Structure 1
Amino acid sequence: MLRPGGADLTIAGGVREFGRATPDAIAVRDGDRALSYAALDSRSSRLACALLGLGLATGDRVALLCGNRLEYPEIAAGIAKAGLVLVPVNPRLTAPEVAFILGHSGARVLIVDEAHGGSVPDFSGHVVWIGAGYEQWIDAARAADPWVAVDERDPFCIAYTAGTTGDPKGVLISHRSRSLTFYASALEWGIGPGRRTIAVAPMYHGAGFAFAYAAVHCGGTVSMLRSFQPDALIDMIARDGAQSVFLVPTHAQLLRAHFGEIPRLPTLDTLYFNAAALPRVLKEWVFEAFPGVGVHELYGSTEAGVVTNLRPADARRKAGTVGHPWFGTQVRIVDPSGREVGDGEPGELYSRSPYLMNGYHENPAATAACTTEDGFLTSGDIVIRDEEGFIAIVDRVKDVIITGGVNVYPRDVEEVLLTHPAVAECAVVGEPDDRWGERVVAYLVGREPVAADALEAYLRERLAGFKVPKQYRAVAALPRNAAGKILKRELRSTP
């Protein structure tokens, strides 16, 4: 039996530790509101007791339908203190989509931001509205930490994937996995005591939660950016003195489109990017827009956690790669037969690390389909490792286009398209073709109008003919999920 104060890692650990070590330090900022570590520790304990007062038992699920706001870290910590399991829900989902997650996870309680009431379906469990009712509810509960024992390998949350290929799958993420991610993030990106960061990406997503909550787990301060606007982000960095900030490439695209020149930000020393590969053109803009700032590019997934990181020392020299395997991570790159490939050969990437998921909730078939007997998890990506061990993402296995019997990797085409001055963003997909099997099609978000024949002439000077798109389609915006990843499946279904 585990005892209070035992050595097992839990995501409530940091809040407990810094609630004692630095009680007066600010843990969370949200506009004019702020929480000290003492208040975060106390309020999360009250929430834990309030949840247990509803008759919940260890391992029961509590869903949270909420955007970035001050209460998010305290709710996550309180659920963990009570030995319960968090089910983060994207507030942009429709009520039927939310109903699926609540039903599949078996959630017994739903905590919901009053601003997102339109996404709440009929629900037989207990609903708590963040607002006056929430404050009265936790104020009436005991402030004592219940210290419910949990095994560090048990799930602290069930994170639902975007569901681009059918119903979303629930990813079981353990306390140990996320706690180690927090500590490694503190080491890698400077998230720790006395350091300040911003919750830019939504916390209901795996990466957004990991890199925002890492601050309160490791003694830093996190400021809540409720919705992304370029001005709002830059103002918050300047006002709160943020030092390390996590972004996705879409944020950089929006910053580039909005600002002629980024204002000077003397406190900022670290930027780290994830969700999709940073195109070389955009990465070069980041270097110029944020002089003197260390730029990291990491790669991972909800299921695998962080897999690789490209550190500032190599950021320019090895642009186009995502670096080396991260702390404690082994990788294996194999061909379709399962044979490990050599340097310079494309293959599917598998990883094994302490950050891997426990599996998919109530879906053993899907878990078995993506894992090996010796504990490696597929990424679903094709990569190439160079002679120095740097890994470059070639493309998603499912996105490779086979046209006339020849493989085309969409990213090769996208990287060249993005060098054209009229192209702001793009996505290349394969669509059925009677003659070629698949044809290469490019979807473009333009800075200015450009004729298809002009684009074709530009690409033919830089790409082999079979890679040049057969068709170009202008769109106002590319469809993306909560992590900022382009949903190519939706483009393929565009009439």
Structure 2
Amino acid sequence: MPPPPPTTLAQLPGHAAAAYGDLEALTDGEVRWTFARLAEEISAAGRAAVAHGIRPGDRIAVWAPNSRQWIAAALGAVGVGAVLVPVNTRYKPAEAADVIRRSGARVLFTERGFLGTDYARDLHASGEDLGELATTVVLRGGRGPDSWEAYLAAGRAVPDAERAARAARVRPEDVCDVLYTSGTTGRSKGVTATHGQTLRLYTSWSELVTLRPGDRYLLVNPFFHAFGYKAGVLACLLRGVTMLPEARYDTDRVLARMAAERVTCLMGPPTVFHGLVHHPRRTAHDLSALRLAGTGAARVPASLVDEIRTALGAPDVFTAYGLTESGGVVSVCPTDADADTVARTVGPPLPGTEVRVTGPLGQVLPAGEPGEVQVRGYHVTPGYLDDPAATAEAVLAGGWLRTGDIGVLDGRGYLAITDRLKDMYVVGGFNAYPAEVESVLLTHPAVVDAAVIGIPDERLGEVGAAYLVTTAPVTAGELTAWARERLANFKVPRRFTVLDELPRNAGGKLLKTELRRTARGEPA
């Protein structure tokens, strides 16, 4: 008899151990764990969370790259009732501190020395207000009382029965994580999700994309994002898939690891696949085990879908669409669809999910007419953390979520995303928000007005283009350096154009549609 499906993330590691026991669950460097061993490591981290006074409902932040320690720390704490708050590893200390402070995180798991960055030192040296943060644990590179080893050691005094009792009290309707996402105002909002809706969503997603026991999944998507954590770690535990976490994406390393580890599944933004397809030494690596490739988060040309199937040899390719407020997924295009369908649409809604397209007055539009995409289903967020006004604006009466995206439904019920109501654009799979970038550019002493839009980029999908009004000559290099000191690299515009004035209407509203036409070389 197969074990009953888990109803909370607290039950998930034990479920995976019972269902897949001796199958390989994780390969990280020289470490190889079975599903049974992974469950033991997560239990040890759960006992450590209890020992450190982490209570049900407490928020714990993780600001670190992909690793086995990330998985154990997060699921160990969530398994005793804590709420996970992942933090983008590309954030500067001020950006990370903002999330930590507003989430009310009491414990932070982080690292030292990753790509020359000491997250723990830089954060505490920044002088930023860290709110209720009381404990910092260094997952890798720590020594002494703040190390991961010391954190785990404290848990040895906690009986496992106590941890199990805490796990048993976690309910499907409890919040399991808060993922921060920004709107056009640039102020990030904490999107809540519950245990029950998360498990139901990624059980459905895993089945649709055909994950299966024995698959080997290279996790290049960062765990701070739903694509890496939920469509990665959680999906692997649900389906008996081996996890191969990558701390950072490097095409040479990825090609070598795909061949050495016989990787069968790879998912990421189009830029990942573009880099692999066009790598000069791709054919020197045996990628014949690859069977499943998933992409999205940016425009996907049909030619790239064909190249993934021919050059990389993955017969099953899918695209998907979602947003943080929908748990990360709304629709999935079937893996066996033709290249044009995979590139042009994001498939039909998930089972149990409704999608409608509405006009400016809220009227539901027929198939073939573009309008705002709205979503209703069990996986729509219960709301933004401590922000009822924003919740009421995003989730309408009747449970319909406003996505802010413009789309079209065809006669089959397949959805195509054609534009955005919001100005947000996606750089290599990461969301960038113009208002935030504009506010940084406006702090430059020579800049008096700024507007940022997303423009197409062959490798990254989209990049930022900034249009500025200045009071003194300033070079693109100076502006790039200014932005890089204050923003994560993916947010930094790749193009700067100085204008006499920005296009605005009679009421002073910025006309970004005109800037987009300018960027495309069309007359204003």
TM-score bin, normalised by smaller chain: 0.7 to 0.9
Secondary structure of the residue aligned to 1:313 is coil
Choose the corresponding residue for 2:393, options 359, 369, 381: 369
Match of 1:146 in 2: 164
Confirm or deny: 8 A CA contact 1:182 1:210 kept in the other structure: yes
Following superposition of structure 1 onto structure 2, how do residues 146-185 of structure 1 map, counting pairs within 5 Å?
146-148=164-166, 149-162=169-182, 165-185=185-205
Q: What residue is the counterpart of 1:337 in the other structure?
A: 361
- Contact kept, 8 Å, 2:292 with 2:314, in 1: the verdict is no
SS of the counterpart of 1:273?
strand
Supply the RMSD in Å over aligned alpha carbons.
3.0
Counterpart CA distance in 2 for 1:238 and 1:19 is: 27
Give per-residue Cα distances to partners, 1:349-389, cap 9 Å, x unaligned: 11112222221100111111111111111111111112222
Question: 1:127 aligned to 112, 120, 136, which one?
Answer: 136
- Amino acid across the alignment from 1:314: A
2:514 aligns with 439
1:474 matched residue in structure 2 = none
- Give the Cα–Cα distance (whole angstroms) in 1 for the partners of residues 460 and 52 of structure 2: 51
**What is the number of residues matched between the two proteins?**
429
> Quick one: which amino acid aligns to residue 50 of structure 1?
A
Q: Give percent identity, aligned residues only.
A: 28
Task: Tell me: CA distance 1:242–1:260, structure 2 relative to 1, closer, same or farther (3 Å).
Answer: closer
How far the C-alpha of 1:254 sits from its partner, in A, is 2.4
State the 4+ residue runs in structure 1 displaced beyond 6 angstroms: 5-8, 428-431
Instruction: Provide the rounded CA distance (Å) in 2 between the counterparts of 1:112 and 1:222.
Output: 21
Q: Structure 1 pair 34/443, CA: closer, same or farther in 2 (3 Å)?
A: farther
8 Å Cα contact 1:440/1:470 also seen in 2:
no
Amino acid at match of 1:151: R
Q: Is this contact kept in 1: 2:5–2:15, CA < 8 A?
A: no
Q: Please state if 1:196 is matched with 2:216.
A: yes
CA distance in 2, matches of 1:362, 1:33: 40
The match for 2:262 is 241
Contact 1:98 1:119 in 2 (8 A): no
TM-score when normalising by structure 1:
0.79
**Which amino acid counterpart does residue 199 of structure 2 have in structure 1?**
S
Residues 55-82 of structure 1 show CA distances to partners (whole Å, capped at 9, x for unaligned) of 2321111111110111122122201221
SS across alignment from 1:98: helix
Give the one of 386, 390, 394 matched to 2:410: 386
Moved more, 136-145 or 212-221: 136-145
Kept after mapping to 2: 8 A contact 1:86/1:157 = yes
Deviation at 1:310, TM superposition (A): 1.2
What secondary structure is seen at the aligned counterpart in 2 of 1:325? Answer: coil
Aligned to 2:349: 325
Report which stretch shifted further, 49-58 or 356-365: 49-58
* AA matched with 1:315: D
Query: TM-score by structure 2 length?
Result: 0.75
C-alpha distance after superposition, 1:163-216 (max 9, x if no partner): 663221111011112212331233122334322211111001121111221112
Q: By how many angstroms is 1:233 displaced?
A: 1.6
Counterparts of 1:424 and 1:90 in 2: how far apart (Å)? 18
Work out whether residues 190 and 244 of structure 1, in 8 Å CA contact, stay in contact via their aligned partners in 2: no
Following TM superposition, by how much is the alpha carbon of 1:13 offset from its aligned partner in structure 2, in angstroms? Answer: 2.3
Q: What is the letter of the counterpart of residue 125 of structure 1?
A: A
Gap runs ≥5 in structure 1? 401-409, 445-466, 472-495
Please list the CA deviations of residues 452-486 of structure 1 after superposition, one character each: whole Å capped at 9, or x if unmatched.
xxxxxxxxxxxxxxx75359xxxxxxxxxxxxxxx
**One-letter code aligned to 1:117:** A
Instruction: Tell me how far apart the structure 2 counterparts of residues 243 and 388 of structure 1 sit (CA, whole Å).
Output: 30
Amino acid at match of 2:265: S
SS state at 2:164 partner: coil
Closer/same/farther in 2, CA of residues 58 and 317 from structure 1, 3 Å limit: same
SS class of match (2:309): helix
Match of residue 480 from structure 2: none
Q: Distance in 2 between matches of 1:14 and 1:287?
A: 33
Q: Secondary structure at the match of 1:146?
A: helix
Q: Partner of 1:480 in structure 2?
A: none
Instruction: Give the letter for the 1:177 counterpart.
Output: Q
1:205: which partner in 2?
225
Task: State the one-letter code of the partner of 2:354.
Answer: Q
Name the counterpart of 1:271: 293
| Mapped partners of 1:470, 1:232: distance in 2 | 45
Structure 2: gaps of 5 or more residues: 114-118, 425-452, 468-501
8 Å CA contact 2:10, 2:80 repeated in 1: no
Q: 1:392 Cα shift? A: 1.1
77-86 or 112-121, which moves further after superposition?
Answer: 112-121
Q: Flag the 1:317–1:100 CA change in 2: closer, same or farther, 3 A.
A: closer
C-alpha distance in 2, partners of 1:288/1:188?
Answer: 22
Query: Hey, what's the Cα distance between the residues in 1 that align with 2:6 and 2:214?
Result: 25
Question: What CA distance in whole angstroms lies between the structure 2 residues aligned with 1:292 and 1:434?
Answer: 48
Counterpart amino acid of residue 43 in structure 1: E
